[in-house]
Structure 1
Amino acid sequence: MASAPRLLVGAIVFGTTFSSWAFSFKHDYERDHTKATVKMWNSGTLTTEKTPTCLLLKPDGTFDAFGYDAESRYRELADNNDHMHYYFFRHFKMSLFKQLGRAGTKKEQLTIALEPVHGVQDQNTLREVVASNVVGWGGIMVNKAFEDFLKELAGKDVFEQFKVHEIEDWLCMQREFEVKKREIRNSARRVLMHLPASTVELCEKERKLCFIDVIASTRYAELVEIKRDNINISKIVLFYLFGDPTKKTVMYVKKILNYNETKDIKAILMVGGFCESPLLQHAVKEAFPEEQVLIPSNVSSTVLRGALIFGHNPECITVRTLKYTNGDKTTTPFKAWLHAVEKN
């Protein structure tokens, strides 16, 4: 039975690293299915379609700020040494269905939209070919590799102190790296990033060495240069940072394409934050020369737009694949007076 038309549909994406929301009206959807109003987030230095999945709670546990606002607010508190009793969370997932239910949202007004592998049918509807699956890699793995790189460069203890005591500088480095992740191409030779003076000062204080000598003692001696207040990083290091998550992504797609159900797949659609990386795009195109690799112009908001289309027209997906099914075997409850003890 078809559901009643919805005059307004909203979509929320809670990602491990970035989140956002968007909405579209029925009349706009009927003119252009992809037309949507996507929230634009301002960090102070750049405007993006997504904001970091960061939450700041007040000392009493109530909401204070989210996203870029949470980062900026926490940074201000830290500058005044007023942050110790606040709760700052980042890189987390939310139990969306339960939380919205508690907020008073009716279940019939809430739909969870998954991201499985689809096949297009003759009637321009979608058939779910492979059930949705959550994997533990992506852009967040590149961030983790970047942190490990800085730990090895300056020393683990120095880096941990830097994150705790120089919060503003660390947040600025993270934001800049997020921008660089979307700019680094396969042809890049080096990438220049700002190096906070606090990093150098803290490292030299703790290690009792000039920062250049500290770098010279690591395996990055020939791959990293310090130029005034910038760090010049070789492409070898950058490719290493992206290497593991990129390789795992490609291997996972190859695994999916080896299924009998996916033998007729002709195209790969790249969506989501990590797919903004030119390095990942190049790797996918190189690994799958026989498939058409489609990269929308608005990669980061494509999932949101797809969720809105699904919200307006839930019947667009006509066949689903269950990840698990109920079995047809049963066991008899143990009865002490009837069954042997070892059967319990």
Structure 2
Amino acid sequence: MFKDEFNQREQVYTYNWSKGLTQTPKTPTSILFTPRRDFHSFGYDAEEEYARLSQYKENSYWYFFKRFKLTLYKNENLNEITMIRDCTGKEMLAIEVFSGGIHYLKNHLLTHFKERIPHLREGDIHWVLTVPAIWDEAAKKFMRKSAEKAGIPGSRLTLALEPESAALYCQLGAPRSGLSPMQPGAKFLLLDCGGGTVDITVHEVRLDNSLKEIHRASGGPWGGIKVDDAFQEYLLELFGFERIISLPKHDVIELERSFELLKKSVNTEDKNYHMQLPLTLRQSADLEPGTVVAGKLRLNSKVVKVFFERPAENICRKIQEILLSLTHHDLDTILLVGGFAESKILQDKIQLKFPTMKVLQPNEPGAAVIKGAVEFGHCPEKIRFRMSPYTYGVNIVTPFRHGKHPTSKYIEVNGEAYCDDIFHTHVRKNQSVETGTEISNETYNPMTKGQTSMNFKIVTSDSLSPKYVDDPGNRIIGSFDVRIPHAFSSLERSVNVKMIFRGTELEVEAKDAHTKQIYKSSFRFE
């Protein structure tokens, strides 16, 4: 969407991807690399080429990754040298895989637009990359680095949280979203059910129609692929492990696509469903009569509904947990978005579990995130307040006190006893923070006269009141060094450290009190 079109509240356009003779608004997160680890193809093209290679036994040295975005969720050791495995166990650098996909999508968009707008320049585009709200700072920073590696300058890149984007689409996108804008003071729970993860946020509409988060983002890996996993377990029971595990790759892809079509058609009616089977499975002699009819697998509704039970139960349990924690809020609306949210089974289970709630969906719930990301790119200020997902702080050293500090933290510097790795809090978990506004500003002094630099570790914690940097649930997400004057210079020797949330990302800023030099967003990716 162009800026003048956005100001006129016109339609947000999305690309339709070719899948055989049909077109779909989404393409799968699949990517193929050559044996030399060079990018080859993405989405449906990657799946079809890998299936062709498999059919002719030429796939052994190729790298095929599917649903690789999930590898960033709760990855405790994520960094620029993190390796991920493809579908056959071969390893590649994760950043090469992610940047390869982003580079393809970037060039695809540029090619598509330059055919229509020859004078378009890359510098005219501001890019918005969506990420799950339940990702931590390391995962967000990893995505930013992947985008920069793909040729998108950091100054022209915004990371948008997926449920927030969808919330903006539902609230600001009227009449495009098909929903009436909520009035100031209204509160709603947004449930973003994607293929991999489910994100849940709770917002309140403010007087200026901006949104204030009133419960920190939460969720889990309960997306549509959990339904796929349940179906695969059923196939293993039906046909046997050996038969399923030995299926050629092109048959596996055919199965996955057939089930995807079936999954979208499932509703609450009691009836039989039919899906296409590969020839190798149609010929199974040990199946019960009527299981395969005219080359198609017959499934009754009771069997199919079981595939949805576990993810639906996890989602409802999480919603219940959130609602119980918000008993003092007047919350009566659940907004369902995301591809998995189109499931009639899921919609029915949520409405049955929460009968007093209004369960609503916008037009094209599967496209709500991407269309809302356009809203966010133009109006990031519409998300004014967020709940801090973690406690953030830095490491400090304090005088050691026997009986209070553990001996494992004891260090001695110039004959003085100190306690090392104290967690000094800047922002507490669940604290409401205003974006773009300074949240904390603390002053730190060097330990010794000869010290000419200070190192700060940036640490996150799941605890409200962490004591030490290495407490369980803590994670060092970066560090940086600040130069300070020599002790004999008679100059002020202190450093100010402050934290700011710029949009969806944490920014840490340190300033030498004497030189006023600012060390901004310079902490290293650990």
Normalised by the shorter chain, which TM-score bucket?
A: 0.7 to 0.9
Of 283, 297, 311, the residue aligned with 1:231 is 297
Indicate how the Cα distance of structure 1 residues 310 and 289 shifts in structure 2: closer, same or farther if over 3 A, else same: same
From 239, 245, 248, give the equivalent of 2:311.
Answer: 245
Contact kept? 1:268, 1:292, Cα under 8 Å: yes
Q: Is the aligned partner of 1:97 residue 2:144?
A: yes
Q: CA 1:296 to 1:188, structure 2 compared with 1: closer, same or farther past 3 Å?
A: farther
In structure 2, the CA distance between the partners of 1:109 and 1:130, relative to structure 1 (3 Å rule), is farther
The aligned counterpart of 1:28 is 5
Q: Distance in 2 between the 1:329 and 1:228 partners?
A: 67
Give the whole-Å Cα distance in 2 for the aligned partners of 1:130 and 1:267.
15
Q: Given the alignment of the two structures, is residue 41 of structure 1 paired with residue 107 of structure 2, yes or no?
A: no
Instruction: Quote how far apart the aligned CAs of 1:39 are.
Output: 1.5
The 10-residue stretch of structure 1 (82-91 or 105-114) with the greater mean CA deviation from structure 2? 105-114
Look up the equivalent residue of 2:226 and give its one-letter code.
Answer: M
Query: Structure 1 residues 133, 108: closer, same or farther in 2, change over 3 A?
Result: farther
The higher radius of gyration belongs to 2
* Distance of aligned partners of 1:50 and 1:73 in 2 relative to their CA distance in 1, 3 Å threshold: same
SS of equivalent residue, structure 1 residue 38: coil
Could you tell me how far apart the structure 1 residues matched to 2:40 and 2:328 are? Answer: 46
Deviations 1:187-240 (CA, angstroms, capped at 9, x unpaired)? 141111112221244xx5xxxxx232xx48xxxxxxx72213111101111111
Cα distance in 1, alignment partners of residues 318 and 207 from structure 2: 28
SS at match of 1:320: strand
Q: 1:256 aligns with which of 302, 322, 325?
A: 322
Q: What SS does the corresponding residue of 1:198 show, helix, strand or coil? A: helix
User: Displacement, 1:329?
Assistant: 9.8
What displacement does 1:86 show? Answer: 0.9
Kindly state the Cα deviation for residue 274 of structure 1 after the two structures are TM-superposed: 0.7
Query: 1:146 maps to which residue?
Result: 231
Give the match for residue 156 of structure 2: 109
Q: Retained in 2: the 8 A contact 1:128–1:321? A: yes
Q: In the TM superposition, what is the alpha-carbon distance from 1:327 to its structure 2 partner? A: 5.9
In the alignment, what sits opposite 2:252?
A: 170
More helix by share: 1
The corresponding residue for 1:9 is none
Q: Within the alignment, does 1:199 sit opposite 2:281 as a pair?
A: yes
**Residues 262 and 281 of structure 1, relative CA distance in 2, 3 Å threshold:** farther
8 Å contact from structure 1 (residues 129, 262) kept in 2: no
**Unpaired segments ≥5 residues, structure 2:** 70-97, 99-141, 164-200, 399-408, 419-526
> Is 1:321 the counterpart of 2:391 in the alignment?
no
Q: In the alignment, is the contact (CA less than 8 A) between 2:274 and 2:298 conserved in 1? A: yes
Pair 1:328–1:42, CA change in 2 (3 A): closer
Q: Which residue of 2 aligns with 1:179?
A: 261
More divergent stretch after superposition (295-304 vs 95-104): 95-104
1:120 correspondence with 2:221: no
CA contact under 8 A between 2:282 and 2:292: conserved in structure 1?
A: no
Rounded Cα–Cα distance in structure 1 between residues aligned with 2:213 and 2:2: 26
Counterpart of 2:264 in structure 1: which amino acid? R
Match of 1:71 in 2: 47
Identical-residue share of aligned pairs (%):
31
Structure 1 position 169, deviation (Å): 2.0
Provide the secondary structure at the position in 2 that maps to 1:301.
Answer: helix
Separation in structure 1 between the aligned mates of residue 5 and residue 328 of structure 2, nearest angstrom: 34
Give the Cα–Cα distance (whole angstroms) in 2 for the partners of residues 29 and 57 of structure 1: 37
Contact preservation (8 Å) 1:55, 1:66:
yes
Higher strand proportion? 2
Q: Which amino acid aligns with 2:338?
A: G
**2:362 equivalent in structure 1:** 296
Which digits, 9 at most, give the CA deviation of each residue in 1:227-260, with x for residues without a partner? 1311110111111111101111111111111223
Q: Find the counterpart in structure 1 of residue 215 from structure 2.
A: 130
SS in 1 for 2:68: coil
Q: Give the Cα–Cα distance (whole angstroms) in 2 for the partners of residues 261 and 146 of structure 1.
A: 37
What is the alpha-carbon distance in structure 1 between the residues aligned to residue 255 and residue 206 of structure 2? 46
SS at match of 1:70: helix
Partner-residue secondary structure (3-state), 2:147 = helix
What is the TM-score normalised by the length of structure 1?
Answer: 0.80
Corresponding position of 2:459 = none
Q: Which moved more, 1:105-114 or 1:232-241?
A: 105-114
CA separation of 1:130/1:267 partners in 2, compared to 1, >3 Å: closer, same or farther?
A: same
Other structure's SS at 2:220 match: coil
CA RMSD after TM alignment: 2.5
Paired residue secondary structure (1:233): strand
Residues 314, 131 of structure 1: alpha-carbon distance in 2 compared, 3 angstrom cutoff: same
Deviation for aligned residue 1:308: 0.9
**Is the 1:119–1:265 contact (alpha carbons within 8 Å) kept by the matching residues of 2?**
no
CA displacement 1:28-71 (0-9 Å, x = unmatched): 211226x2121211110432111111011011101111111111
**Which of the numbers 286, 294, 303 marks the counterpart of 1:211?**
286
Q: SS where residue 232 of structure 1 aligns?
A: strand
Aligned residue in 1 for 2:29: 53
- Tell me how many residue pairs correspond in the alignment: 300
